Amino acid sequence: MEKYSALKLIRHALESNRKWPRAWRRPEPAKQYDAVVVGGGGHGLATAYYLASQHGMRRIAVLEKGWIGGGNTGRNTTIVRSNYLWTEASLLYEKSLQLWETLSQELNYNIMFSQRGVYNLGHTLQDMRDIERRVAANRLNGIDAEVVSPEQIKAAIPIINTSRTARYPILGASLQRRAGVARHDAVAWAFARAADALGVDIIEQCEVRGIDCEGGRVTGLQTSRGSIATGRVGLVVAGHASVVADMAGLRLPLESHPLQAFVSEPLRPLLDTVVMSNAVHGYASQSDKGELVIGAGIDAYNGYGQRGSFHTIEHAMQAMVELFPCFSRVRMLRLWGGIVDVSPDACPIIGKTPIEGLYLNCGWGTGGFKATPGSGWVLAHTMAHDDPHELNAPFGLDRFTTGALIDEHGAAAVAH
């Protein structure tokens, strides 16, 4: 792996940038691996990276049906935060946020992590009670959080409409200053490059078509590029988790929905933080290119089509114009959808399955991006030790049988 540095930038510039090496190899799949991660999104690549870097495993493959950065990793609104209500969830997301803080240095790749703060707006008295409760819970868990007034919001974000006569007036917000955004596809590229440098085979255009099991344990995979023998398989396939798990006869408590987002034409800098509103349901930030990045809610119906209904984005747009009247004549440039796997309690499923050697990492729903490094961290631990890390132990599939759900649906800041 060629180390990236300012000096290298200059040297390659002098060579007209013609001699940059590939960021990762393009290997043929081997016949056998010690561990295989199915799904080459951010979570899967992070899992492979930490398997190699933290647990000293070698002979690891990541199988990706499409290309690196082409799935949900490149389709989200890039928000990173850890201000969840329940202790189990907030500790998991906080671990992730701590990994984000040093990730560029660790991976030697500028993932453009920008801790510009995230405001979660409250529009009703009940919103404000929930916000105060969540901020208090965050502080008890050592997570930075504060309640801010409409005046403080207006001072920080002059373009926001804090008028008392608005249809849904802003009564306050929670603010996590350490939260922010990151360059989403750079995260996938960075993990792919760093994992590759540790010997991980990243195999793109390789679709898993079957999971071989014998005597209750996994023995290998059937793929579009031949069979691969392995005793450990991590399924990290987001929206298609139910489809792939079904190959091993597993039923999951998931429903896949389209989730849409869109960006505007580039504007001069006017929003230097992230604003999310649960009540009117929309969230916005401004990318370094100047585009407003805006996310909608999920479409109501199950879908695998990577697109959704127009009234869903219209609804999100109404919320944005309500919050930021100056956006009303901004043109939207691109619109896309991703498929999110929503679990009954809005928390992920990470851990072992009834099939030995088969591990799950799914159910992140609308909010998986922020957890990318932490998700890989705990799944790598689970796969290496055949036992969950203490951070993901509460997130096992068995919680739906025991009833120990972690209900972040109404309690979290929801929009992601």
Partner 1 sequence: MLLIQCPWCGRRDESEFSYGGEADIARPENPDALNDAQWADYLFMRSNRKGHNREIWNHQHGCRRWFVAERDTVSYEIQATFPMGGQEQDS
Give contact residues for partner 1 (rule: CB under 8 A): 240, 242-243, 251-256, 300-305, 309-311, 341, 344, 400-403
In terms of CB distance, is 122 or 239 closer to partner 1? 239
Two structure tokens written together for 355? 């099939």
With vertex at residue 348, the alpha carbon angle to CA 286 and CA 138, rounded to the nearest 5 degrees, is 65
Q: How far is the CB of 144 from partner 1 (least distance, A)?
A: 34
Phi (first) and psi of residue 219, to 5 degrees: -120, -15
Considering the complex, state which of residue 40 and residue 258 has its C-beta at the smaller distance from partner 1.
258
Cβ 307 to partner 1, closest distance in Å? 8
Residue 126 CA to residue 122 CA, distance in Å, equals 8
195 contacts: CB under 8 Å, gap ≥ 6: 24, 45, 48, 49, 52, 60, 62, 202
Q: Alpha-carbon distance 246 to 233, whole Å?
A: 14
CB 332, CB 249: distance < 8 Å: no
By beta-carbon proximity to partner 1, the closer residue of 16 and 402 is 402
CB of 351 to partner 1, least distance (A): 15
- 1 vs 243 by CB, closer to partner 1: 243
For 38-74, the DSSP string reads E--SHHHHHHHHHHHHTT---SEEEE-SS-TT-SGGG
End-to-end C-alpha distance for the chain, whole angstroms: 34
CA distances, 356 to each of 216, 381, 385 (Å): 6, 15, 12
Question: Could you tell me the smallest distance in angstroms from the CB atom of residue 373 to partner 1?
Answer: 27
Nearer to partner 1, 149 or 302 (CB): 302
The DSSP symbol for 238 reads: G
Q: Which is nearer to partner 1, 78 or 256 (CB)?
A: 256
Q: How far is the CB of 257 from partner 1 (least distance, A)?
A: 9
Which CB, 181 or 237, lies closer to partner 1?
237
260 closest CA partner among 300, 218, 216, 306? 306
Return the number of the residue (108 or 309) whose C-beta is nearest partner 1.
309
Give, as one character, the DSSP assignment of residue 88.
Answer: H
CB of 363 to partner 1, least distance (A): 11
Rounded least distance, CB 398 to partner 1, Å? 9
C-beta separation of 154 from 170 below 8 A: no
Name 397's Cβ contacts closer than 8 Å, sequence gap at least 6.
252, 253, 349, 351, 352, 353, 360
Closest approach, Cβ 290 to partner 1, in A, equals: 30
Any idea which residue has 């031949």 for tokens? 226
CB-based contact 76:365 (threshold 8 Å)? no
Give min distance, CB of 239 to partner 1, in A. 9
- Cβ proximity to partner 1: between 253 and 394 the closer is 253
